[in-house]
Chains A and B, each alone.
Chain A
Amino acid sequence: DTAVSQTPKYLVTQMGNDKSIKCEQNLGHDTMYWYKQDSKKFLKIMFSYNNKELIINETVPNRFSPKSPDKAHLNLHINSLELGDSAVYFCASSQIDREYEQYFGPGTRLTVT
């Protein structure tokens, strides 16, 4: 059973397009996250949701909009894609009060051409 799953695994698209990445966790966790990992492996948190409420919103362009339809899902929509958005995006989840123990999805490699 996959604990944290993401779709798609790979996404290649052109500048200016709008795309979405989906994330689902079946661990019963209350908190979900989106991270961006650049080509040098530097990992940066983008958003965090707890029970469908936004609790962390780092300095991210407003072209990025997370949506949490329920506490098991956190999707990431990106408008007007730019070359600099190319990266690997990871979804993660954790139990409340155990935010240090995060379970990561396999990642979505986004390439913008």
Chain B
Amino acid sequence: GNSVTQMEGPVTLSEEAFLTINCTYTATGYPSLFWYVQYPGEGLQLLLKATKADDKGSNKGFEATYRKETTSFHLEKGSVQVSDSAVYFCALSGYRDDKIIFGKGTRLHILP
């Protein structure tokens, strides 16, 4: 079945550091891929998405590229801020699927 694997956290970085959170997936067909973010005490929010191979999703300075050859969708940001501290979830949805499969989440701490 479909699944998502993302790097375990927590990830701790200093402000303005470069961020990468790895995500790989297993799926039949051509899934759509997403990153969701959960800020402390809140529900999840869609951060960015990519619906086909080589698409790049971007939002709030974050980027992720759909790499079919490596079945990956790594999240990157060039310069993180303290306000980026949150839990990040990689997710996928299969073609004509009516649900999302979430990864286990990666907690990110940014130190001032």
Q: List residues of chain A with CB under 8 Å of any chain B CB.
A: 4, 31, 33, 40-43, 45, 48, 50, 55-56, 90, 92, 99-102, 104-107
Q: List residues of chain B with CB under 8 Å of any chain A CB.
A: 32, 34, 38, 41-46, 49, 87, 89, 91, 93, 97-100, 102, 104-105, 107
The reply to whether B45 and A55 contact each other, CB–CB distance below 8 Å, is no
The reply to whether A107 and B43 contact each other, CB–CB distance below 8 Å, is yes
Least CB distance, A40 to chain B, in whole angstroms: 7
In whole angstroms, how far apart are the Cα atoms of A48 and B99 in the complex? 8
In whole angstroms, how far apart are the Cα atoms of A20 and B91 in the complex? 29
Interface of chain B, main secondary structure: strand
The reply to whether A100 and B104 contact each other, CB–CB distance below 8 Å, is no
Q: Which residues of A contact B43 (CB under 8 A)?
A: 4, 90, 92, 104-107
Q: Which residues of A contact B93 (CB under 8 A)?
A: 99-100
The reply to whether A102 and B104 contact each other, CB–CB distance below 8 Å, is no
User: Are A106 and B41 also in contact (CB < 8 A) when A41-B87, A42-B105, A48-B99 are?
Assistant: yes
